[in-house]
Structure 1
Amino acid sequence: MSSDEPPLADAMRRIEDAFAEGVEQPRAKPSADAIRAAEALLFAGGEPITAKALAEKLGPAVDVAAVLMKLKADYAGRGVELVETGAGWRFQSAPDLAGLFTETREAPKRLPKAAMETLAVIAYHQPVTRAEIEEIRGVSLSRGSMELLMEIGWIRPRGRRRTPGRPLTFGTTDAFLSHFGLASLDALPGKDDLKALGLLDPRAAAQLDVPRPSEDAAPDEEPLSEGDDAASFFVDHLGEDE
């Protein structure tokens, strides 16, 4: 018999090798560090995270499926559970504890159009004075609109203009950002965003400049004096720059 391997045996060996190459080798159990990292990502994300996104963060050596199953098992029966949704994986409160988060509250009243327009002007043009708000809107500003926005906690006096009369300047608050789901003023919709949402007429867009506000003090703005932080002071001085 020739020392060469018989054709049939050689063919069988090649098939076995090909099959072995196509079978994924079992990965080692995920490390504690990988599990902790995934746990942190899922908690901090706020939104569901896909397994693919987790894999990109944890690296190719980590078995993401095993990590998720381990976390799911660890949190089973606890107040917070790991669940899979259509958008990915997330932590949420256990269904049987839903009653703890039920509360009765009065539905907030819809803000008048004038107040919403005033809020929009302040949001995009801050720091801005009462007179500047009126100039931008083209109508007189009612005292009630400013008082209402301050009562809700969406606007605040920021400082004073370094101009005659030293009028108050106004800006938005962290409560405003939180209510509208904005991480910062930079997240306010720009011109392209407003057009995409159908809130801006494309014919007028070319003529319109959508400013980008800043939380930093303006060059001509000075901080409020000590003792000027009382709410009653601002209510009494809302119309002082008229």
Structure 2
Amino acid sequence: MAEQERMVEAILFATAEPVTLPQLAGRMPHGCDPAAALALVRKRFAGRGVHLVRVGEAWAFRTAPDLGFLMSHEIVETRKLSRAAIETLAIVAYHQPATRAEIEEIRGVSVSRGTLDQLIELDWIRLGRRRMTPGRPVTFIVTQHFLDHFGLESARDLPGLKELRAAGLLDSRPQPGTEVEDADQAGQNDLFEDDA
């Protein structure tokens, strides 16, 4: 098992993108148990400068959260997203799978094809399954790259209303008659007003 642990460690260190269990199994010799080897690697790196973390259905080494400040000089911001792109991304993340019509209904304005193309090009959203409704519209969902960028295991780990308000990102009191107020009363995680 020690040799399998070394193999998993080598594959994960050499790969830029997170690696799934089937991908590990495909690279390792027949008869290996990548799941058991992953558990050993994760245990061995607990408390170290890098951690083995789950990103969706895949695994990757990431800098320990408390040491992130050491990497700040390596962060390069190439371009900022427009407000329309940020709103669209947030709607897809919180309401996925979301159709273009649903995004437009929540935002209250039409979505530019360029906005969706930009988010697809950044590999933050991708096309999902077609809805089984008239016209069979395509849906949009967030990608593994999006989850990895924000340090999330799944979209269920996105912050809710209470966390966003505590961080000062939302008004502490919603406007009367808005969907946000209604969602608060129902105990749901809806972030957007119809007239946003």
The partner residue of 1:43 within 32, 35, 45 is 45
**TM-score normalized with structure 2 length:** 0.55
State the percentage of identical aligned residues.
50
Are 1:194 and 2:169 an aligned pair? no
**TM-score normalized with structure 1 length:** 0.45
Matched position secondary structure for 2:119: helix
Q: CA deviation at 1:112?
A: 0.7
Q: Tell me, in whole angstroms, the C-alpha distance in 1 between the residues paired with 2:103 and 2:137.
A: 12
**1:119-198 map, 5 Å:** 119-198=89-168
Unmatched 5+ stretches in structure 2: 1-38, 52-65, 175-179, 192-196
Aligned pairs, number: 126
Q: CA deviation at 1:38?
A: 10
**Contact in 2 for aligned 1:42/1:48 (Cα 8 Å):** no
Q: Tell me, in whole angstroms, the C-alpha distance in 2 between the residues paired with 1:40 and 1:162.
A: 41
Equivalent position of 2:88 in the other structure: 118
RMSD: 3.4
Deviations 1:195-233 (A, max 9, x none): 111112121153344249xxxxxxxxxxxxxxxxxxxxx
Matched position secondary structure for 1:159: strand
Q: 1:38 to 1:157 in 2, by over 3 A?
A: closer
Unmatched 5+ stretches in structure 1: 1-36, 50-86, 91-100, 213-242
Q: 1:47 to 1:133 in 2, by over 3 A?
A: farther
The partner residue of 2:189 within 201, 207, 210 is 210
**Contact in 2 for aligned 1:122/1:170 (Cα 8 Å):** yes
Q: Tell me, in whole angstroms, the C-alpha distance in 2 between the residues paired with 1:201 and 1:106.
A: 30
Q: Tell me, in whole angstroms, the C-alpha distance in 2 between the residues paired with 1:201 and 1:155.
A: 27
